[in-house]
Structure formats: structure tokens, C-alpha cells
Amino acid sequence: MAIEVRVPTILRTYTDGEKAVTGEGDSLAALIADLEARHPGIKERLVEGEPEQLRRFVNVYVNDEDVRFTGGLETALSDGDQVVVLPAVAGGATDAR
Amino acid sequence: MLTIARETYDAIVAHARRDHPDEACGIVAGPEGTDRPERFVPMVNAAGSPTFYEFDSTELLALYKEMWARDEEPVVIYHSHTATEAYPSRTDIGLANEPGAHYVLVSTREHGPDEGPVEFRSFRIVDGEVTEEEVAVVDALPARSTP
């Protein structure tokens, strides 16, 4: 069960510079746990809180669908799925957030 | 230093004026590793706010897939401040996730949507550290050297 994960520039320090890595898992949560085992430190950049949820300004797509619309970390995965991680491009004058 | 073509500079300023008082945002893509801002891509501010901007997540994916297909990267990431100076806020710094990009800020606080001088400044934002850099506006980017 291999799932290809596209890694953004900012997280490539965890993947020895690789743009894409392979992981396993039948859900996004399981995949992230597997990635953490292979690339320690990466999980904290993707999830936060208790119970864990995806960080507000990290976007994850499974086969081009934003997982926020497909169940978040519970999103089911199967062999051959393509996962893309992209940090939000966001900001603004407010310092309130 | 950021070297940018006059036409691209003008397009960024025009976008900032057009969206005033909301923040405008977008990128200028260029071939990977060249530091050349060649392809102006204005984006919709999904937050539709005078104090915040965010690319729509679906449009963000489409944008990056297009860049990957063309071997491009975001050379410039720009947005406007509409009531404050053209300097990265704490929010801007905390959310800056492209260490290789020039972060351009335009402020429309003086003249809003109207003609008139605007602040146009460029910064590197790496690991929370902001470094301002010079902006060179040129008639056209120099010819590409073949590697």
C-alpha cells in the first residue's frame, strides 16, 4: 500500500530535500503517523491540538480534493492515492490572529 | 535584491488599487532557480477582508500544479496593506512559508484606489526573520542566460 505525498519546500528539511515521499496508511491520520516514523518532526508541522486536527494554515489534498471537505484526518486512503501538502498562502495587516 | 519588470510592477499596483479597501494578493511565477518574476498571477482574496488575505485552497492547488507542470516556482508573493505601512505584520511573518520567495508588500493607505504614489517594498522572510531588500524596476528583465 503505497501513497505518494508531495512535500512543500518548507517541509523538505524533514525529507532530505525530497519533493515527494512515499508513505502508508488507510487514513490520513495513519499516513501522517507513518510519515512521522520515516521523517521525524514532520507531524508537528501538519497537525495540532487534542484531539488532533489539521493545522489551520496547512492544506492537504487527496486526489485534488481538500481534505477539509472529505473528513479531515479521517479521510480514507487507498493504494495509489496522491496526497499533496501545501501551506496556505495567507497573511494580512491584522496582528490579531 | 528584487529585479522586476515595470509592466509587472504596474500590474501589482493596479491590482492593489482595484481591490482597495480589501487586501489584494497574488504571485509572480518564474522558472525554478532563476529568480526571475516572469508570469503575473493575480489571485482572489478568499478572505475578502481589509486586514487579511488567503488564497482559496482549491485555487492554490491549481496554481501550484500549474507551476509544477511548467517547472516554475513562486518568485514573488505579493499582497497589499490598505490602512497600514508596507511592512510585514506579525501575521505575515508567522504565515510566510516560501523561504525562497520575495515577499512584496504594497500599501494603498495614502491614495486608496486612486492614482498617486504607493509604497512598494520587498522582503525576505525566513524562519521568522524579516530582511528588507532593494527593488530594481527595469523596463524588461535581462535576457536569460542559457545554463
Looking at the predicted structure, is the pLDDT value of residue B7 above 80?
A: yes
- The whole-number pLDDT of residue A10 equals 94
Instruction: Say how far apart CA A76 and CA A28 lie, in whole Å.
Output: 7
- What mean pLDDT is reported for chain A? 95
Whether residue A94 has pLDDT greater than 90: no
**Domain A3-87, what architecture?**
Roll (3.10)
Q: Does B99 touch chain A (CB under 8 A)?
A: yes
Residue-level pLDDT at B65? 97
pLDDT at A89: 97
Tell me if ipTM is over 0.90.
yes
Quickly state the pLDDT bin for A8 (edges 50, 70, 90): very high
CA distance to partner chain A, nearest, from residue B84 (Å): 7
What the block records as the C-alpha cell of A68 is 477539509
Give pLDDT, residue A96.
45
- Measured between alpha carbons, how far apart are the two ends of chain A, in Å? 39
Predicted local distance difference test score (pLDDT) of residue B143: 87
- Which pLDDT belongs to residue A97? 40
Lookup result for grid cell 501545501 = A86
Chain B: closest CA distance from residue A21 (Å): 16
Is residue A65 over pLDDT 70? yes
Residues B119 and A12: their CA atoms lie apart, in Å, by 34
- Give whole-number Cα distances, B8 to A6, B26, B56, B58, B134, in Å: 30, 12, 22, 25, 16
DSSP line for B62-113:
HHHHHHHHTTEEEEEEEEEESSS-SS--HHHHHT---TTSEEEEEE-TTTTT
Strand partners, A94: none
What is the spatial distance between Cα B26 and Cα B28, in angstroms, rounded to a whole number?
7
* B97 interfaces chain A, CB cutoff of 8 Å: yes
A26 CA to chain B: closest CA distance, Å?
A: 23
Instruction: Give chain B's mean pLDDT.
Output: 96
Domains annotated on chain B, with CATH:
2-138 (3.40.140.10)
- Smallest Cβ distance to A91: which of B61, B79, B100? B79
Distance CA A55, CA A58 (A): 5
Range B38-58 average pLDDT: 97
Nearest CA in chain A to B79: A92
* Model confidence band, residue A95 (pLDDT cutoffs 50, 70, 90): low
| Dihedral angle, C-alpha A86, A89, A95, B4, nearest 10 ° | 140
User: Of B146, B136, B116, which is closest to residue B2 (Cα–Cα)?
Assistant: B136
Percent of chain B with pLDDT over 90: 95
- Residues of chain B neighbouring A89 (CB-CB closer than 8 A): 25, 27, 43, 54-55, 60, 74, 77, 97-98
Q: What is the reported pLDDT for B144?
A: 82
